[in-house]
Structure 1
Amino acid sequence: MPRVVVFDETGGPEVLRVVEEPVVEPATGEVRVRIEAFAVNPLDQMVRAGQSPRPVRLPNARLGVEGTGVIDALGSGVTGLAVGDPVILAALPEFATKGAYAEYITVSASQVVPRPAGLDVTDAAAFWVTYFTAYGALVERAGMRPGDQVLITAASGGVGRAAIQIANQIGAVPIAVTRHTAKVRSLLDAGAAAVIATDREDVAESTRRHTAGAGADIILDAVLGPGLAELSLAARLGGTLAVVGWLDPRPASFPANPSLTIHRYMAFADMTDPQTVSRVAAFLSAGVRTGALRPRVDRVFGLDDIVEAHRYLEKGTPEGKIVVTV
Structure 2
Amino acid sequence: MPKIVRFHEAGGPEKLKFEEQPSRQPGKGEVRLRVEAIGLNRAESMFYHGQYVEEARLPAGLGYEAAGVVEAVGPDVDKNWLGKRVSTIPAFSMNQYPMVAEEAIAPVFALGEYPANLSAAEGAAIWMQYVTAWGALIGIAKLTQGDFVIIPAASSSVGLAAIQIAKAEGAVSIATTRKNSKKAEIAALGADHVIATEDEDFVARVSEITGGKGPRVIFDPVAGPFLETLAQVAAPEGIIFQYGWLSMEPTLYPLVTALVKGLNIRGYTLMEFTQNPERLPAAKKYVFDRLADGRFQPKIAKTFPFAQVVEAYQYLESNAQIGKVVVTVP
Q: State the TM bucket, normalised to the shorter chain.
A: over 0.9
- 1:11 alignment partner AA: G
Structure 2 SS opposite 1:81: helix
Tell me the equivalent position of 2:58.
58
1:161, CA displacement in angstroms? 0.4
Which portions of structure 1, spanning 4 or more consecutive aligned residues, are displaced by more than 3 angstroms?
Answer: none
Extract unaligned runs of 5+ from structure 2: none
1:96 aligns with 2:99: no
* Partner of residue 313, structure 1: 316
Q: Provide, for residues 216-256 of structure 1, a one-character-per-residue CA deviation record: whole Å limited to 9, x for no partner.
A: 11111110011210121121111111111110111113233
Asked whether the equivalents of residues 2 and 23 of structure 2 are also in contact (C-alpha less than 8 Å), the reply is yes
Work out whether 1:279 is the aligned partner of 2:282. Answer: yes
| Aligned match of 2:236 | 237
Q: 2:5 is matched with which residue?
A: 5
Does residue 171 of structure 1 match 2:170? Answer: yes
Match of 2:267 among 264, 267, 276: 264
State the partner residue of 1:14.
14
**Paired AA for residue 6 in structure 2:** V
Alignment partners' CA distance in 1, 2:282 and 2:109 = 14
Number of matched pairs: 325
Normalised by the length of structure 1, the TM-score is 0.96
Which deviates more, 89-98 or 127-136?
89-98
* Map of 2:214 onto structure 1: 215
Summarize deviations over 1:93-137 as a string: whole Å, max 9, x none: 221242110111122221211122321111111111011101111
Where 2:225 maps in the other structure, the secondary structure is helix
> Which residue number corresponds to residue 49 of structure 2?
49
Task: Give the secondary-structure state (helix, strand or coil) at the position aligned to 2:117.
Answer: coil
Matches within 5 A, 1:93-132: 93-132=92-131
Alpha-carbon distance in 2 for matches of 1:190, 1:219: 19
| Alpha-carbon distance in structure 2 between the residues aligned to 1:319 and 1:161 | 8
Distance 1:178 1:241 in 2: 18
Q: Structure 1: state its 5+ residue gaps.
A: none
Q: CA deviation at 1:9?
A: 0.7
Q: TM-score, normalised by structure 2?
A: 0.95
CA distance in 2, matches of 1:290, 1:136: 21
Q: Give the stretch that moved more between structures: 239-248 or 24-33.
A: 24-33
SS of the residue corresponding to residue 98 of structure 1 reads coil
Contact 1:135 1:163 in 2 (8 A): yes
Measured against aligned partners, the alpha-carbon deviations of 1:162-218 in whole angstroms (never above 9, x if no partner) come to 000011111111111111112111111111111111122222221110011111111
Residue of structure 2 aligned with 1:289, choices 283, 292, 299: 292
Question: Within 2, Cα distance between the matches of 1:36 and 1:309?
Answer: 16
CA offset at residue 80 of structure 1?
6.8
Shift of 1:49: 1.1
Counterpart AA for 2:14: E
2:23 paired residue number: 23
Structure 2: distance between partners of 1:303 and 1:94: 22
CA distance in 1, matches of 2:21, 2:102: 10
Aligned residue for 2:322, secondary structure, equals coil
Q: Distance in 2 between matches of 1:134 and 1:67?
A: 19
Aligned-partner SS, 2:279:
helix
- For residues 277 and 159 of structure 1, the distance between their equivalents in structure 2, rounded to whole angstroms, comes to 17
Question: What is the one-letter code of the residue matched to 1:215?
Answer: G
Pair 1:324 & 2:323 matched? no
CA contact (8 A) 2:151 2:220 kept: yes
Contact persistence 1:68–1:86 (CA under 8 A)? yes
Query: Please, which moves more after superposition, 85-94 or 146-155?
Result: 85-94
Q: CA RMSD in A?
A: 1.4
Identify the residue that residue 152 of structure 1 maps to in structure 2: 151
TM-fit CA distance, 1:63: 0.5
Distance in 2, Cα, partners of 1:274 & 1:307: 34
Letter of the 2:242 counterpart:
V
d(CA) in 2 for partners of 1:89, 1:108: 9
